[in-house]
Structure 1
Amino acid sequence: MLTASLAGELFAGAALLLFSVNIILTKVAAVRVKLDLGFLVSVSVNVLFAALLFLAQWVWRSDRVVWQSEGFAFFLLAGAFSTWLGRWFFLESVVQFGPSRASIFQITSPLFTALFAWTFLSEALRTLELAGMGMAMAGLLLVMTGASSAGLSGGKGRAGNSAAGGHGHSRLQQSALVLGLGSSIAYSLGNIFRGAAIRNWDEALLGALIGASAGLALHAAFSRDKKQLLGRLRNADRRGVLLFAISGVLTISAQTCLILSLKYIPVSVAALITLCTPLLVFPMSYLLLKNSEKITMATVLGGVLTLAGVALIVIL
């Protein structure tokens, strides 16, 4: 029989898979279409696909939607932090530093999420859960360190091309720090708001639609070249636009799975499971993109340690 905890873990695992595929797809798509335009396409498809799913649910469901203002506000805030701010930070780091290095800063996300969940949702993790989280994060750090060391020459070359001297390299590091930690904190807050929303208002699809709509509205409001967007879209590489459209389907599906997981398991645990994207991104990046990132012994050992930490949490 499917227990509530197992259901939450399965939903979180589905979100992990979808997010991982999207990271690889974004790297490929960004070669063909600039990130700001691709982001607009992706978030627009978020809204359209979520609206389609909610319409299908509304047609087939036997009950009606009961409005809940607090839940609506939380879903709105979740979209502002995750769909807009967090995703922009993260996609920018994927394009500038590569899918693997962009994932390095996501290690801090469970720390922020656990802290915010304890502060705002009164969630407290047990000792074994904390131990499992520590093991998983240590494993992810080992995975990242091994991959970064293996691909170090490529990273140095890129930094050299971007900077004329030491000050330029310092600015690059600061940019990576801002993008990485900014994405981590924004996603953490987005998860907290999603957790609060779904526990007040059990409408996962509608919540995903609200969040995506908020993200699209914010992107449109802060876009610098609104008048040129349609022209750029018409002239953009069609395959790149299609890839970003697929990215929109993947991300809104992942967000919906994540929201559903938050009904059954702690926010910090769901965040940790979905954080394990490097375990899938590294082999996919190596096999599909044929890049310079090597699968080293440190990568393998880190993966084993991460899986052991997640298993410790799951079997409790």
Structure 2
Amino acid sequence: MGDLLAVLALLLFAGNAFVVRAAAAHLGQRVGFLVALVANVVVAAVLVAVQLAVRSEPLRIDPFAVGMFAVAGVFAGYLGRRGYFRTVETIGPSRASAIQNSSPAFALVLGWLLLGERLGPVELACMGGVLLGLYLASGRLAGGAVPWREIGVGLFSAAAYAVGNIIRGDALDRWSEPLLGALAGAVAATVVYALLHRPAWSEVAGPRRPRRGLALWLLSGALTIGGQASVIASTAYLPVSVAVAISAATPMVVIPVSVLLLANRERVRPRTAVGAVLIAAGVAGLLLV
């Protein structure tokens, strides 16, 4: 069951990469990201309402776990997703997804730095493979080299996702309510974005917005909260690092779709695909040792 949930999250996240690229062409991320966050809250609330209506056991609230899910939402739902969406728009879904695939490696590095977990020669070799894969996956755009600033944004978002997933895993151990946890994270991410980007609220209610852009950003919000809830739920059956590694393997879907079905509009070169494979192999090695 855990594997199926993680694969479902993978497919939802991969689909979202193309939706974000299309949405940003019609409506900028300043407003679009807020629309997606609001959609996160609405969809999560509907899922929670349905769950509460059909469940038989009484609901138990764990305030500390709710707080942990909320903090995780700020890291993953706001910081991580904001950076990822930006790189999808600037360097394309294939490269952005390849960089994002390094998130599980960041989780292990954070465990080494913060929790004193040991990294031996095999782990360091796998990390080297991940770093080489990141270099290759950055590739080149049609207009020249990929800006290192965008690579940095992608790596920061991957690290933020790693922190969020670590916190979520601990929260789920305390309180096995993945849908309510996803709702808490979505609300927290939306509140933080609203506080830090207040003009975005007035822009949503301002001049008429392109309907297609709004619809695509709403779809993006539904896809991301669905993927997030699936990842959280999968960690009840799988280790957090394994669940994150499966759900983050979006290049395995995004790159073939971009090349075969979308006429390679991103002009993905072989080195990008090789880099994505190296990242996936390095992460797999880190999880298996």
TM-score, scaled relative to structure 2? 0.85
Secondary structure of 1:235's aligned partner: coil
Contact 2:31–2:204 (CA under 8 A) maintained in structure 1:
no
Q: CA deviation at 1:285?
A: 2.1
The one of 251, 255, 262 equivalent to 1:282 is 255
Residue by residue, what CA displacement relative to the aligned partner does 1:112-157 show, whole Å, maximum 9, x if unpaired?
21233567789889999x69x939x948955972x654xx350418
Distance 1:201 1:122, change over 3 A: farther
Distance 1:97 1:279 in 2: 17
Distance 1:218 1:139, change over 3 A: closer
- The answer for the alignment partner of 1:197 in structure 2 is 171
Q: 2:187 aligned with 1:222, yes or no?
A: no
Distance 1:200 1:182 in 2: 28
Q: 2:175 aligned with 1:154, yes or no?
A: no
- The answer for the alignment partner of 2:90 in structure 1 is 96
Secondary structure of 1:30's aligned partner: helix
Distance 2:91 2:267 in 1: 12
Partner AA of 1:216 in structure 2:
T
Q: CA RMSD in A?
A: 3.3
The one of 194, 198, 213 equivalent to 2:187 is 213
- The answer for the alignment partner of 2:246 in structure 1 is 273
Alignment gaps of 5+ in structure 2: none
Question: How many percent identity over aligned positions?
Answer: 35
Residue by residue, what CA displacement relative to the aligned partner does 1:263-314 show, whole Å, maximum 9, x if unpaired?
1222222222122111111122232364142463873796499479759968
Partner AA of 2:183 in structure 1:
L
Q: 2:5 aligned with 1:17, yes or no?
A: no
Contact 1:220–1:226 (CA under 8 A) maintained in structure 2:
yes
Residue by residue, what CA displacement relative to the aligned partner does 1:60-89 show, whole Å, maximum 9, x if unpaired?
100121111221111011111011111111
Equivalent runs, 1:22-61 vs 2, <5 Å:
22-61=16-55
Contact 1:144–1:299 (CA under 8 A) maintained in structure 2:
no
Q: Which has the larger radius of gyration?
A: 1
Partner AA of 1:154 in structure 2:
A
Residue by residue, what CA displacement relative to the aligned partner does 1:157-209 show, whole Å, maximum 9, x if unpaired?
8x7xxxxxxxxxxxx42x22431222011101100111011110000000000
Q: 2:2 aligned with 1:8, yes or no?
A: yes
Contact 1:121–1:196 (CA under 8 A) maintained in structure 2:
no
Secondary structure of 2:61's aligned partner: coil
Residue by residue, what CA displacement relative to the aligned partner does 1:46-67 show, whole Å, maximum 9, x if unpaired?
0000000100000110012111
Alignment gaps of 5+ in structure 1: 1-6, 160-171
Q: CA deviation at 1:96?
A: 1.7
Distance 2:233 2:67 in 1: 18
The one of 94, 115, 126 equivalent to 1:134 is 126
Secondary structure of 1:263's aligned partner: coil
Distance 1:184 1:304, change over 3 A: closer
Secondary structure of 1:293's aligned partner: coil
Secondary structure of 1:202's aligned partner: coil
